[in-house]
Structure 1
């Protein structure tokens, strides 16, 4: 155990945040899946608890081994990984496993587990983007030499993710814009991209308003005959409509979802109903993944909900601090980009649960029930800790050199004093 602790380096506050979140995950996932496991596995309520424990164990191993790798290795594989992720996204879009009218997953042949390819694409994009930003700082203000080479990968990745998972594409785009802004990209160029992105978003909101004012009786028939992409657009419009107009349409699935989360939060109050005492877990869709934050508030109250927010904000603060301490641009951009996307995802999930954002399919990082997304989150955190570990080593080396130089200077000063004393005696 001592040897493992000695080999575990990096930011200790980030390590503590990770352990707190996975402990909370075990408690809440066990509570949220108890009834489901009882129905699915004939009375065995611990099935999902054991699965989550296994995912956490594997995830912590991923973090450990990823943080032991020198982060400069990730710069070398960034381009290959990004070029691999693009055809993988295209394949997923047309031939992936279809769920909820969207193709987001592929099935891995050996382990027979589905993987959301957008998770791999996000990680590859941030590696590639950090690499490009660090290498083009001298030309970053130039439109052709600096801006286009970094914005094209972002646009391609987001456009390929958007048809099946619009919320992930939007969050990825926002995270990348923040990173590009910090990477000294020209503000006018960024405003141009934001203006272009607002066009389809405005069209989506307008479509929701029009749909609400003119209800089509044949909407269900049209939806059955529509393509996958058209069906996804209908889903987006319905979710925006439910968010804007509330509970007017009781048949709207997103409205039901929001109402159940509101009831859970109202039940929780300030201190909550206590661990395992949630009642809305039996009614709220996906109380162990998308809606897990409302389950946390129901059982642990506003105090528990505030604690979760505090942990993620501390994680972000330590990552920003790491960005300032890192002497090399690639490591600084990589750590900050990955932390941005994780914290933005967490904040979006929590905003959805408290009805400050339309319904999305994003999970709460490190807290929602495990899957491929959980493991990729662990890999991202491992990479951030790899940057922190190398920064600590560089700072330790610099401190040792400064101490050695100070000690040598003191020794030389003592010799000079002794020589002076001998001269006085003579």
Structure 2
């Protein structure tokens, strides 16, 4: 165990945050799945064991991802993009349909489903970081830098958008932030934003069934007093959970709204956490993500290479924006979406992809620490007087 701890490198605060989020996730999911287990006629331990396996698998992936030199992810990003684009197309055409949306594909043999947009997020962010770092000398050149970058962003955006609006919009926003960090001109970024708006409008107009769902959710959010009780049920139950939690909560496992709140183990896990752990627990969870973002900011500013800085920036933006989007929905600050809370919500492969993202950030941090140690060793060696 001691040898394993000694081999974990990178920012210790991020490691601690990952452990705390994982423990909190296990407690929340075990509490939240009691009603689901009863409906399916199984023990809640079955969901707990499955979730534990995913958490442990995620931490293992994070560990191995952080051991790999982050520069190797530049080459891996090209492979991921080659895999991701046809996979997203396959998902749209032949994926598993749930609520009129095709977001999942089933992995043969193991019969496990996964959301292809999770892979797309990782692929696009790493590919953008690679492309932006390689094009720094010609970053203002529209033909050599802007068009290849815009093409990759728009293709992924178009392929995710019809089935998963919230993920597509967040990923597009992260891409815009990454373009700003990568020194793309404001004029070109404005063109990207305009292109995204045109694509979004076109899909909403053509989308029919899905566009009706999106508009309904926005309408419920904007005018809850006029909304159909059935359509506002999720948001109302979430507010009840938060309101009854008080300052210190009802205690672990004492939630009552888990019996009424849809998806208290995934989309609305933050509401359940506030009900059981109170305002103190909710603020504590928010602080964990804020500290994570702060530590990632330090990694970005200290990274000597553009690729490492852009990689850490893009992945940290993606994880924190997703976290705050989930929490905003739970407290009524946004329309209902299906965005999970990173490393806390119950999930399958989404936990694994999230863990890899954390591991890549830690890989950049590990490289910074190793360079600092080498520079210190050189200074110490240089101070030793020569023998003669």
| TM-score (norm: length of structure 1) | 0.88
Matches within 5 A, 1:165-244: 165-198=164-197, 229-244=207-222
Decide whether the 8 Å contact of 1:56 with 1:370 is kept in 2: no
Decide whether the 8 Å contact of 1:67 with 1:389 is kept in 2: yes
In 2, Cα distance between the equivalents of 1:104 and 1:275?
33
Residues 1:379 and 2:374 aligned together: no
Select between 44-53 and 320-329 the one with higher mean Cα deviation: 44-53
Unaligned ranges ≥5, structure 2 = none
Decide whether the 8 Å contact of 1:287 with 1:295 is kept in 2: yes
Corresponding residue number in structure 1 for 2:76: 77
Matches within 5 A, 1:232-271: 232-253=210-231, 255-271=232-248
Q: CA deviation at 1:391?
A: 1.4
Corresponding residue number in structure 2 for 1:399: 376
Q: CA deviation at 1:251?
A: 4.6
Corresponding residue number in structure 2 for 1:350: 327
In 2, Cα distance between the equivalents of 1:112 and 1:201?
33
Q: CA deviation at 1:195?
A: 3.4
Matches within 5 A, 1:19-98: 19-42=19-42, 44-98=43-97
In 2, Cα distance between the equivalents of 1:36 and 1:145?
53
Corresponding residue number in structure 2 for 1:131: 130
Matches within 5 A, 1:302-313: 302-313=279-290
In 2, Cα distance between the equivalents of 1:77 and 1:49?
33
Decide whether the 8 Å contact of 2:125 with 2:311 is kept in 1: yes
In 1, Cα distance between the equivalents of 2:123 and 2:44?
37
Aligned CA distance change for structure 1 residues 203 and 149 (closer, same or farther; 3 Å): closer
Q: CA deviation at 1:357?
A: 0.8
Aligned CA distance change for structure 1 residues 129 and 203 (closer, same or farther; 3 Å): closer
Q: CA deviation at 1:269?
A: 1.5
Decide whether the 8 Å contact of 2:162 with 2:203 is kept in 1: no
Corresponding residue number in structure 1 for 2:149: 150
In 2, Cα distance between the equivalents of 1:230 and 1:156?
21
SS in 2 for 1:115: strand
In 2, Cα distance between the equivalents of 1:71 and 1:197?
30
Corresponding residue number in structure 2 for 1:338: 315
Decide whether the 8 Å contact of 1:242 with 1:252 is kept in 2: no
In 1, Cα distance between the equivalents of 2:318 and 2:283?
20
In 2, Cα distance between the equivalents of 1:321 and 1:304?
26
Matches within 5 A, 1:103-118: 103-118=102-117
Corresponding residue number in structure 2 for 1:5: 5
SS in 2 for 1:370: coil
Corresponding residue number in structure 1 for 2:120: 121
Corresponding residue number in structure 1 for 2:256: 279
Q: CA deviation at 1:196?
A: 3.9
Larger Cα Rg: Structure 1 or Structure 2?
1
In 2, Cα distance between the equivalents of 1:383 and 1:319?
11
Q: CA deviation at 1:252?
A: 4.4
Corresponding residue number in structure 2 for 1:164: 163
Unaligned ranges ≥5, structure 1 = 208-226, 416-426
Decide whether the 8 Å contact of 2:154 with 2:196 is kept in 1: no
SS in 2 for 1:265: helix
Decide whether the 8 Å contact of 2:64 with 2:359 is kept in 1: yes
Q: CA deviation at 1:15?
A: 0.1
Matches within 5 A, 1:313-332: 313-332=290-309
Q: CA deviation at 1:149?
A: 1.6
